[in-house]
Amino acid sequence: MIIFLIPVLLMLGGFKKNKTEPGYTDKTKWKLVWSDEFNYTGHPDPEKWGYEQGYIRHNELQYYTHYRLENARVDGQNLLIELRKETPESFVATSKNDEYHRYTAASVNTRDLASWTYGRFEIRAKLPKGKGTWPALWFLCPYKTPNVPGPPLPRLPDGREDPGPDIPRAERSDYWVSRGEIDLMESWGSRPNRTTVYIHGTQGPNPSARYQHPRDIYNEFCVYAMDWYPDSINFFRDDVKILHYPKDPSTGWSFDKPMYLIMNIACGGPDEPAPDDSTLPQFMTIDYVRVYELKK
């Protein structure tokens, strides 16, 4: 996640935010095209989910493991993504998870399996609690979509994929901006009961909205949703619309290409202290992920 913090709610041009605006969406106009209800047990469905592995970005403290039940598992009702404090005895090395790491978590994604352009996206989740936790539900434009063969591109030190020698170094900044990123939900454990939306990929200000939830987001489920159209994106917390982001020719529009979903818990990082080990493990519990497209 590329981070540009905006500490207060702002009105940026046409970016409209309203904490109390009803988030009504006419479900009759949408058709379900992809989902995971997590009504099975074991590893997340490999036909739908892949993994990041390693220390990926932002000098975070956690090591993302690959295909490890201790960090990502389905219990018959929900997907559990677990942030753990390990000991040398608890971390059993495998061919995919090499040596002991103090903190481990999972970052599951649809990168090589599914991506979408426009639609309604709903994720019903409970979040991890306590300082040091940094869960996120977010979307990136893939460099390797499901119909493009070949391995993923290598990573740069900050976790972004290296676009390779065909992109001159002087042009790489614009290249990244043009790809876009949608952070449907980010939350920092040291800011209780608050979640944010961030949008990256415009030449102007990065629109954002933060929402102070009236309910306990750690022990109660909340639906994090967005309606993505060719000319705007609306963001919701349950039935509350917290951001309307319209297409604006003056700032550019990066959101007309396929994007894939990432769900992860980070630990520490540039805007969050190290966790209190006594509060671990912590979980992001996901009831379902549903993707809709407009009916023809």
Does the active-site annotation cover 171?
A: no
pLDDT band at 150 (very low <50, low <70, confident <90, very high): very low
Residue 170 has pLDDT above 70, yes or no: no
Residue 210 has pLDDT above 70, yes or no: yes
pLDDT band at 177 (very low <50, low <70, confident <90, very high): very low
Catalytic one of 47, 181, 220, 272: 181
Average pLDDT over the chain, rounded to whole? Answer: 82
pLDDT at residue 5, as a whole number: 33
Helix (H) or strand (E) holding 223: strand 222-229
What is this structure's pTM?
0.82
Q: Which residue has the higher pLDDT, 270 or 215?
A: 215
Q: CB–CB of 106/82 below 8 Å?
A: yes
Does the active-site annotation cover 21?
A: no
Give the mean pLDDT of 123-144: 90
pLDDT band at 27 (very low <50, low <70, confident <90, very high): confident
Rg, the chain, Cα only: 18
**Residue carrying structure tokens 């639609």:** 119
Dihedral (CA of 89, 57, 198, 68) sign: negative
pLDDT at residue 114, as a whole number: 93
Q: What is the pLDDT of residues 38-49, one digit of tens each?
A: 999 999 999 999
Between 11-20, 191-200, 260-269, the lowest mean confidence (pLDDT) is in: 11-20
Residue 246 has pLDDT above 50, yes or no: yes
* Amino acid type, 51: Y
Catalytic one of 70, 186, 272, 293: 186
Q: What is the pLDDT of residues 221-241, one digit of tens each?
A: 999 999 999 999 999 999 899
Q: Which domains are assigned to the chain?
A: 27-294 (2.60.120.200)
The angle subtended at Cα 115 by Cα 269 and Cα 18, nearest 5°, is 60
Tokens (6 digits) for 140 = 């990136």
Q: What is the pLDDT of residues 76-128, one digit of tens each?
A: 999 999 999 998 877 777 767 767 789 999 999 998 899 999 999 999 999 99
